[in-house]
């Protein structure tokens, strides 16, 4: 179905960052220019930036991207065909590593796209299966779209959350019965966490965010995320446990680590896959440490609203990108 609604492409940017890379990618999109609006929101709190951007948007569909995303020309057409069905309220795509990205970035996507690493959220980082119903585990705000009226009606993103705000939001929508889709063919490419320190920090923050989101609308599979926490407690207790049979879980972990790391190396046909021997354990332990910190950090007050600046780089009907300033 050739469905062409008006789309607002919305991206949060840190203050002062150059837009050119994103704009060059948008310029290659195969979609009527007069039906696209491009908004960037400068600030330092992406949840608030996205909420202010949606409020200023004029599109029927909001397409969320990140500032480092590269798009394939047919991305919008692939996604918009689903909105030809008025029952569909949101569509999730996936994010994969750019070709030529640093080795850590490529290996990070391998880890997050693996059952041993990403577990139930691996579908965000690797095409898994076919087009199907989506829930919060399918959504990344570097490649997700939603009907503007639904976003506003549900109050938008919780502004005290980042990261993980999309998990709480789409879990809320799923619990209310909104029809949402996961399209594994809707792919963007990005360079995510190109250093080991950046990777550890990001995973730690993801762990903290699991606690920040709260546990409302959780189902049994959602609690799988707490297995790394149990594993960390096990490792801390291990020196005080008798030798056998308490070493068995560690031996099983090592076997799984070897299996999944070799699998990534063989499937990718690249020596970069060997980095997953290090990144898998760092993911599990950093995530667990983040969960622990999340419980402690709840006793601290959350930051309030921060200034944001909304810029319309391209309005509907325009064919050229500009830089209209619309306020804070």
Q: For residue 245, is the peptide bond before it cis, meaning its omega torsion is within 30 degrees of 0?
A: yes
- For residues 122 and 295, which has the higher predicted lDDT (pLDDT)? 122
**Pair 158, 165: CB distance under 8 Å:** yes
**Can you tell me whether residue 26 is helix, strand or coil?**
helix
d(CA 6, CA 63): 10
Measured at the CA of 46, the angle between CA 318 and CA 315, to 5 degrees, comes to 5
Contact yes or no for 184/128 (Cβ under 8 A): yes
Q: What is the mean pLDDT of the chain?
A: 89
**If you average pLDDT over residues 261-268, what whole number do you get?**
95
Q: Please give the sequence-ordered ranges of beta strands (E in DSSP) within the chain, or none if there are none.
A: 7-13, 36-42, 61-65, 70-71, 88-97, 132-133, 143-147, 179-190, 309-314, 324-327
Choices 3.40.50.300, 3.40.630.30, 3.30.70.100, 3.90.550.10: CATH for 7-194+303-327: 3.90.550.10
- pLDDT tens, position by position, 217-244: 777 777 888 899 999 999 999 888 777 7
pLDDT-above-90 percentage for the chain: 62
Going from N- to C-terminal start, the domains of the chain cover: 7-194+303-327, 220-297
Amino acid 239: pLDDT? 85
**CA neighbours closer than 13 Å in the CB half-sphere of residue 34:** 1
State both tokens at 97: 């590593």
* DSSP structure class, residue 150: H
């Amino acid at each position: 179905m050739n469905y062409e609604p008006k789309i607002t492409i919305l991206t949060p940017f840190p203050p002062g960052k150059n837009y050119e890379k994103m704009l060059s990618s948008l310029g290659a999109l195969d979609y009527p220019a007069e039906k696209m609006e491009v908004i960037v929101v400068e600030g330092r709190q992406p949840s608030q930036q996205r909420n202010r951007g949606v409020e200023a948007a004029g599109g029927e569909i909001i397409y969320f991207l990140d500032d480092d995303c590269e798009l394939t020309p047919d991305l919008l057409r692939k996604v918009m065909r689903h909105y030809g069905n008025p029952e569909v309220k949101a569509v999730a795509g996936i994010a994969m590593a750019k070709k030529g990205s640093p080795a850590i970035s490529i290996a990070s996507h391998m880890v997050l796209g693996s059952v041993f690493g990403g577990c139930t959220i691996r579908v965000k980082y690797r095409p898994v299966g076919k087009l199907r119903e989506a829930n919060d585990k399918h959504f990344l705000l570097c490649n997700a779209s939603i009907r503007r009226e639904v976003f506003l009606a549900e109050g938008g993103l919780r502004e005290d959350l980042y990261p993980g705000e999309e998990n709480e939001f789409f879990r809320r929508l799923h619990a209310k019965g909104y029809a949402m889709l996961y399209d594994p063919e809707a792919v963007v490419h990005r360079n995510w966490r190109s250093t080991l320190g950046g990777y550890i920090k990001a995973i730690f923050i993801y762990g903290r965010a699991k606690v920040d989101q709260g546990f409302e609308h959780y189902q049994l599979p959602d609690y799988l995320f707490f297995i790394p926490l149990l594993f960390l407690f096990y490792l801390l207790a291990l020196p005080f446990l008798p030798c056998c049979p308490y070493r068995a879980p560690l031996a099983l972990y090592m076997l799984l680590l070897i299996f999944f790391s070799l699998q990534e190396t063989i499937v990718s046909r690249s020596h970069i896959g060997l980095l997953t021997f290090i990144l898998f354990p760092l993911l599990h332990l950093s995530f667990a440490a983040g969960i622990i910190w999340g419980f402690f950090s709840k006793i601290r007050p959350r930051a309030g609203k921060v200034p944001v600046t909304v810029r319309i780089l391209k309005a509907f009907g325009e064919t050229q990108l500009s830089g209209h300033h619309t306020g804070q």
